[in-house]
Structure 1
Amino acid sequence: MYSFKNDYSEGAHPRILQALVETNLIQEDGYGGDQFTQKAIELIKQHIGNDDVDVHLLSGGTQTNLIAISAFLKPHEAAIAASTGHIFTHETGAIEATGHKIIAVDTKDGKLTPAHVEQVLNDHPDEHMVKPKLVYISNSTEIGTIYQKEELIQLSETCKKNNLLLFMDGARLGSALCSKENDLELSAIPSLVDVFYIGGTKNGALLGEALILCREALKEDFRYHMKQKGALLAKGRVLGIQFQELFKDNLYFELASHANEMAEKLNNELKKEGFSFLTASPSNQIFPIFSNALIKELQTKFAFHIWEEVDKEHSAIRLVTSWATKESEVVAFVEAIKGRAL
Structure 2
Amino acid sequence: MISFKNDYSEGALPVIMEALLKTNLEQTVGYGEDEYTVKGIEAIKKAIDFEDCYVRLLVGGTQTNLLTISHFLRPYEAVIAADTGHISVHEAGAIEATGHKVLELKTDGQGKIDVEMIRKTYELHKDDFHMVKPKMVYISNPTELGTLYTKKELVEISNYCKEVGMYLYLDGARLASALASEKNDIVLSEYPKYCDAFYIGGTKCGLLFGEALVITNKKLSEGFFCSTKQKGATLAKGRLLGIQFAELFQGDRYYQVGKHANEMASMLKKGVLEAGYKLKADSYTNQQFFIFPNEKIEKLGQKYRYEFWEKIDDKSSAIRFVTSWATREEDVKEFIEDLKTL
TM-score (norm 1): 0.98
* Structure 1 position 200 matched with structure 2 position 192: no
Q: State how many pairs are aligned.
A: 340
Q: Give the one of 306, 311, 315 matched to 1:313.
A: 315
Q: Distance in 2 between matches of 1:127 and 1:302?
A: 52
Q: Give the one of 130, 155, 162 matched to 1:128.
A: 130
* Structure 1 position 232 matched with structure 2 position 231: no
Matches within 5 A, 1:249-288: 249-288=251-290
Letter in 1 for 2:15: R
Instruction: Report if aligned partners of 1:57, 1:240 keep a CA contact under 8 Å in 2.
Output: yes
Q: After superposition, what is the alpha-carbon deviation per residue over 1:128-152, rounded to whole angstroms, capped at 9, x for unaligned? A: 1000110000111101001111110
Query: Which SS does the other structure have where 2:136 is aligned?
Result: strand
Query: Which SS does the other structure have where 1:158 is aligned?
Result: helix
Letter in 1 for 2:58: L
> 1:114: which partner in 2?
115
Q: Greater CA deviation, 331-340 or 54-63?
A: 331-340
Q: Distance in 2 between matches of 1:133 and 1:161?
A: 12
Identity %: 53
Matches within 5 A, 1:20-169: 20-108=20-108, 109-124=110-125, 125-169=127-171
Q: Distance in 1 between matches of 2:124 and 2:7?
A: 37
* Structure 1 position 291 matched with structure 2 position 264: no
Q: After superposition, what is the alpha-carbon deviation per residue over 1:140-193, rounded to whole angstroms, capped at 9, x for unaligned? A: 110100111111011111111111100000000110111011000100000101
Query: Which SS does the other structure have where 2:313 is aligned?
Result: coil
Query: Which SS does the other structure have where 1:319 is aligned?
Result: strand
Q: Distance in 2 between matches of 1:174 and 1:150?
A: 20
Query: Which SS does the other structure have where 2:12 is aligned?
Result: coil
* Structure 1 position 215 matched with structure 2 position 226: no
Using the TM superposition, give the Cα deviation of residue 339 of structure 1 relative to its aligned residue in structure 2, in angstroms: 6.2
Instruction: Report if aligned partners of 1:203, 1:323 keep a CA contact under 8 Å in 2.
Output: yes
Query: Which SS does the other structure have where 1:266 is aligned?
Result: helix
Q: Greater CA deviation, 243-252 or 284-293?
A: 243-252
Q: Distance in 2 between matches of 1:277 and 1:152?
A: 25
Q: After superposition, what is the alpha-carbon deviation per residue over 1:197-245, rounded to whole angstroms, capped at 9, x for unaligned? A: 0000001100000000010211111111111111111100000000001
Unaligned runs of 5+ in 1: none
Using the TM superposition, give the Cα deviation of residue 306 of structure 1 relative to its aligned residue in structure 2, in angstroms: 1.2
